[in-house]
Structure 1
């Protein structure tokens, strides 16, 4: 097709803040996981799909399949919808202890604003 640009799973975007490889980041309504470290404003390759272990809100339990959102203020995943970007679903149960700060997320690969659920 003459107007095809790319598959779209991997995108190059300007880093909205300093990121390390494996960090989640939001640019507008696009969420992805950084493939490499980048300084704010530098180009960074991101993966918008797949399953990743990402930082999550401490003391928050997750059920398998729970909707997961990106809290761009705190730079972590949460199951709190209000004011946050829907990015995917939990792929594993996570306990709600203060030390449970990582969660497995299957990214939805779409640019999607927060919506009422």
Structure 2
């Protein structure tokens, strides 16, 4: 195929701040997870799909399958849609007090 670009399992992105391996960052409206540490202003490889254990707003109660939103200021998932980016579905429940949630990103 002349129009094939790649399989879409990774994306090259240049963040404006250091991104730790396994940390999530927004590339526009796409949430991506760093494969390895990526220095600020350097291109690196990120994963745009899959299930990851990522930070969540500690007070949020999350049910399996719930729509989750990325709070780019707090760098965590939340159930609050206002001022946040839709970025995935909860893969497992997480309660008040839990600092992370299993989430299928970009679902």
Q: Where does 1:9-88 land on structure 2 (aligned, <5 Å)? A: 9-88=9-88
Report whether the alignment pairs 1:102 with 2:100: yes
For the 8 Å contact 2:53–2:101, the answer to whether it is kept is yes
- TM-score using structure 1 length: 0.86
Q: CA offset at residue 16 of structure 1?
A: 3.1
Structure 1 vs Structure 2 CA RMSD: 1.2
In the alignment, the residues of structure 1 paired with residue 9 and residue 18 of structure 2 have an alpha-carbon distance, to the nearest angstrom, of: 22
- TM-score using structure 2 length: 0.93
Q: Give the match for residue 90 of structure 1.
A: 90
* Aligned residues between the structures: 107
Q: Give the match for residue 6 of structure 2.
A: 6
Runs of 4+ residues over 3 Å off in structure 1:
none
Gaps of 5+ in 1: 110-117
Gaps of 5+ in 2: none
Decide whether aligned partners of structure 1 residues 26 and 16 sit closer, same or farther in structure 2, where only a CA change above 3 A counts: farther
